[in-house]
């Protein structure tokens, strides 16, 4: 079976359930007695099992299957939740996440699952031996019953009068059956050939969707003898046994009004956790507000949603960009024609296009909850590893960001949180000595201001000592003594963003070694954002990240050079200045000028980009665009600054690949392509 086309759907579903598992496990750790949580975990594991088996990802289905076994013992309270079991479940979850990643990268096979499987099976086997098989069977018998509506009963009675017999076929599939849905479907098809299927439990749809355990019952009206039908069913692979009986019309059970639900798990959509303004997850104390609120709460308004491939939205975005270009062409024409009615229509078209663009942009927005929801687990693990007590408070989880930003912002945030826990929060004893509560608090907040989204990460730890940073920077040769003398405390703190700088006294497992805060800053500036850090010794520190709402549309400065037009994202530009050619000096073969008392190296942009016929060599008054990378600045001399314009950023594609200095391309109002420059790293 070619399942590749379903892979995306599967991966989406997979991520969703992994997230539910993650959250529920965290909550379960705090409330081991909460049955609802256990149900939710079980449901997710169950769904994952079914989905991965259908897709042929056997490792994942084996792991989820084993998890399910253990969970089912927990649900029946035949097994008590111990920290050991919670850890095992967390480990299983990690393994599932690794497998999911492996599947996308096509290397699922390489991932070792035997260890966790064995640990899981140890629990289920312990109990299995003690279990009385029949007790279980009885329980099932009790819960699965074929019932008919009045109308169905009449139909069946009629069929019986026509010489058919009604059989109830109780079919059990083998435990290791992978394609349950397909098997059930095959059985139904076989039976349809010899009679009329009157009723099934669970419903035929549920059977096809694999929403059943190993057992299902079919009510069949047929003229064939029972023995022959049994044989038909047994021919289907994976059928363990069939218990069948002939039912007389008077024995037909009518449906109960209160709808006897199949006691077994129904893999319905798990309720969306209600969005709380303030989610509080603490890793060491047992108090939690999140799950209590959730328990028994009526699911809030959920509107039907559609899952859409992001590429479809991208192409929609492209079309709208086209429309915007077309619109400006019409606008141009209309201003030439000067017809009142035409102008009014164009004005209307204008507004529609802008609304349309905004709406499409909105569809690409995803709530930051997707990223934040990973962090409670991270903080839990960090606090366990470091022996510190840390509580994570999240707020503003509903804040929305463009999908592309969401995908990229996770890693930098992880790094910042690690830093907060590792370097910021003190050991419990140290905290008590300083008169603080034993448990440190890391707070993450997100909110929108204008066209940007702010994310702050605050800790109430020991803060950053500017002098300590300064001394470390001096020792490592990042700064000279003279430079330090001119620096404010804030400047000194900012030194930690220098490449290769790390204030950790010992290299810890937690903060990692390879990447430092410089990588975080680089990533955020790639996203067109800015990161800032403030700190109060003894009180804690605060990271502030400002991100653009979307990456698809950026504000640029259009510049002219020769006959060519280039776009420069305004977020990359430090400032633009005007320099008279007399103010340009030559220093070590390089043109430089003074900007606010500092030497600013200059570059004629045409030299870098190979533009012919640039005019700035003949000009007296020169327009200079200043780029800033870290502490370094570079002034690029252009011919003229045209205007600011919002543009839709497009990739140059993999054929051209990465070209240094060029971040992409965009289509201007006249339909021409303009390249988007990123000269920060040229500086």
Q: Which residues bind another protein (CB under 8 A)?
A: 318-319, 321-322, 564, 608-611, 650-657, 659-662, 665, 667, 671-675
Spot the catalytic one: 62, 164, 419, 494. 419
Pair 102, 157: CB distance under 8 Å: no
Q: Is 241 a known active-site residue? A: no
Conformational region of residue 411, where left means phi above 0, alpha means psi within -120 to 50, and beta covers everything else: alpha
- Edge-to-edge strands, sheet with 165-173: 195-201, 215-222, 165-173, 239-247
φ/ψ of 247, rounded to 5, equals: -115, 135
Nearest to 459 by CA among 535, 521, 522: 535
| 350: helix, strand or coil | helix
Nearest to 523 by CA among 439, 433, 412, 625: 412
Pair 376, 281: CB distance under 8 Å: yes
Q: Is 419 a known active-site residue? A: yes
Spot the catalytic one: 29, 68, 213, 391. 68
Pair 541, 591: CB distance under 8 Å: no
Chain-centre distance for alpha carbon 410: 8
In 403-451, DSSP assigns E strands to: 440-449
Supply the minimum distance, in Å, between the C-beta of residue 627 and another protein.
Answer: 16
Nearest to 78 by CA among 19, 123, 111: 123
Supply the minimum distance, in Å, between the C-beta of residue 615 and another protein.
Answer: 17
Cβ count near 254 (within 10 Å): 11
Question: Based on CB atoms, which residue is closest to another protein, 546 or 645?
Answer: 645
Q: What angle do CA 301, 303, 308 make, to 5 degrees?
A: 145
- Containing 245, the helix (H) or strand (E) segment is strand 239-247
Supply the minimum distance, in Å, between the C-beta of residue 679 and another protein.
Answer: 11
Question: Based on CB atoms, which residue is closest to another protein, 234 or 672?
Answer: 672
Spot the catalytic one: 22, 29, 31, 46. 46
CA distance 77 to 581: 84
Chain-centre distance for alpha carbon 238: 37
CA distance 525 to 679: 12
In sequence order, the β-bridge partners of residue 647 are 554
Supply the minimum distance, in Å, between the C-beta of residue 643 and another protein.
Answer: 18
CA distance 259 to 601: 79
Question: Based on CB atoms, which residue is closest to another protein, 442 or 677?
Answer: 677
Supply the minimum distance, in Å, between the C-beta of residue 352 and another protein.
Answer: 18
In sequence order, the β-bridge partners of residue 395 are 278, 445
Question: Based on CB atoms, which residue is closest to another protein, 276 or 327?
Answer: 327
Question: Based on CB atoms, which residue is closest to another protein, 117 or 674?
Answer: 674
Length of the chain: 683
Q: Is 336 a known active-site residue? A: no
Supply the minimum distance, in Å, between the C-beta of residue 625 and another protein.
Answer: 16
Supply the minimum distance, in Å, between the C-beta of residue 663 and another protein.
Answer: 12
Question: Based on CB atoms, which residue is closest to another protein, 25 or 649?
Answer: 649
Nearest to 637 by CA among 678, 591, 595: 591
| 353: helix, strand or coil | helix
For 629, the token pair is 């990378």
CA distance 550 to 365: 8
- Residue 232's alpha-carbon distances to 156, 177, 226, in angstroms, are 22, 18, 10
- Residue 143's alpha-carbon distances to 216, 217, 260, 261, 404, in angstroms, are 11, 11, 8, 8, 48
Catalytic site residues?
46, 68, 419
């Amino acid at each position: 079976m070619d399942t590749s086309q379903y892979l995306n759907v599967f991966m989406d579903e997979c991520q969703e359930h992994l997230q539910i598992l993650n959250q529920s496990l965290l909550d379960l750790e705090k409330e081991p007695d909460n049955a609802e949580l256990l149900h939710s975990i079980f449901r997710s594991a169950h769904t994952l099992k079914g989905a991965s088996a259908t897709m042929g990802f056997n490792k994942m289905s084996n792991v989820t299957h084993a998890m399910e076994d253990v969970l089912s013992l927990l649900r029946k309270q035949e097994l008590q939740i111990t920290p050991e079991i919670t850890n095992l479940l967390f480990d299983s979850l990690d393994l599932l996440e690794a497998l999911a990643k492996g599947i996308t990268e096509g290397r699922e096979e390489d991932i070792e699952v035997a260890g966790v499987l064995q640990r899981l099976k140890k629990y289920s086997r312990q109990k299995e031996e003690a279990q009385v098989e029949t007790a279980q069977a009885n329980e099932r018998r009790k819960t699965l019953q074929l019932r008919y509506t009045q109308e169905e009963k009449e139909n069946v009675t009629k069929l019986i009068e026509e010489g058919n017999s009604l059989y109830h076929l109780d079919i059990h599939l083998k435990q290791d059956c992978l394609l349950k849905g397909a098997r059930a479907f095959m059985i139904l098809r076989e039976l349809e050939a010899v009679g009329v299927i009157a009723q099934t439990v669970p419903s035929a749809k549920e059977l096809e969707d694999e929403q059943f355990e190993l057992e299902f019952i079919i009510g069949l009206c047929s003229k064939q003898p029972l023995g022959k039908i049994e044989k038909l069913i047994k021919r289907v692979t994976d059928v363990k046994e069939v218990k069948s009986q002939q039912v007389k019309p008077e024995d037909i059970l009518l449906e109960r009004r209160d709808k006897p639900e199949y006691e077994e798990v129904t893999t319905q959509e798990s309720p969306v956790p209600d969005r709380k303004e303030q989610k509080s997850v603490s890793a060491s104390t047992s108090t939690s507000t999140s799950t209590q609120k959730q328990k028994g709460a009526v699911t809030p308004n959920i509107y039907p949603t559609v899952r859409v491939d992001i590429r479809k939205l991208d192409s929609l975005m492209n079309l709208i960009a086209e429309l915007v270009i077309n619109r400006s062409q019409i606008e141009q024409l209309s201003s030439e024609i000067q017809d009142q009615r035409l102008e009014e229509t164009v004005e209307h078209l204008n507004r529609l296009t802008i609304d349309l663009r905004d709406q499409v942009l909105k569809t690409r927005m995803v709530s930051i909850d997707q990223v934040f929801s990973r962090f409670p687990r991270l903080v839990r693990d960090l606090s366990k590893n470091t022996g510190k007590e840390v509580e994570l408070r999240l707020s503003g989880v509903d804040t929305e960001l463009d999908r592309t930003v969401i995908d990229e912002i996770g890693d930098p945030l992880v790094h910042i949180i690690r830093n907060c826990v590792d370097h910021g929060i003190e050991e419990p004893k140290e905290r008590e000595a300083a008169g603080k509560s034993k448990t440190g608090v890391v707070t993450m907040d997100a909110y929108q201001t204008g066209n940007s989204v702010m994310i702050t990460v605050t800790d109430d730890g020991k803060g950053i000592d500017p002098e300590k940073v300064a001394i470390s920077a001096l020792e490592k040769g990042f700064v000279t003594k003279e430079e330090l003398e001119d620096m404010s405390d804030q400047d000194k703190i900012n030194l930690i963003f220098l490449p290769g700088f790390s204030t950790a006294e010992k290299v810890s497992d937690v903060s990692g070694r390879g990447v430092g805060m410089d990588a975080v800053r680089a990533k955020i500036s790639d996203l067109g954002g800015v990161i800032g850090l403030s700190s109060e010794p003894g009180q804690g520190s605060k990271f502030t990240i400002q991100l653009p709402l979307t990456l698809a549309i950026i504000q640029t400065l259009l510049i002219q050079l020769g006959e060519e037009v280039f776009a420069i994202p305004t977020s990359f530009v430090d400032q633009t200045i005007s320099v008279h050619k007399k103010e340009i000096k030559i220093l070590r073969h390089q043109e430089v000028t003074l900007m606010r008392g500092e030497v600013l190296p200059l570059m004629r942009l045409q030299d870098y980009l190979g533009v012919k016929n640039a005019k700035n060599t003949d000009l007296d008054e020169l327009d200079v665009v200043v780029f800033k990378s870290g502490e370094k600045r570079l002034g690029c001399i252009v011919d003229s600054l045209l205007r600011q314009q919002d543009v839709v950023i497009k990739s140059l594609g993999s054929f051209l690949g990465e070209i240094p200095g060029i971040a992409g391309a965009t289509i201007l109002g006249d339909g021409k392509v303009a390249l988007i420059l990123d000269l920060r790293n040229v500086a």
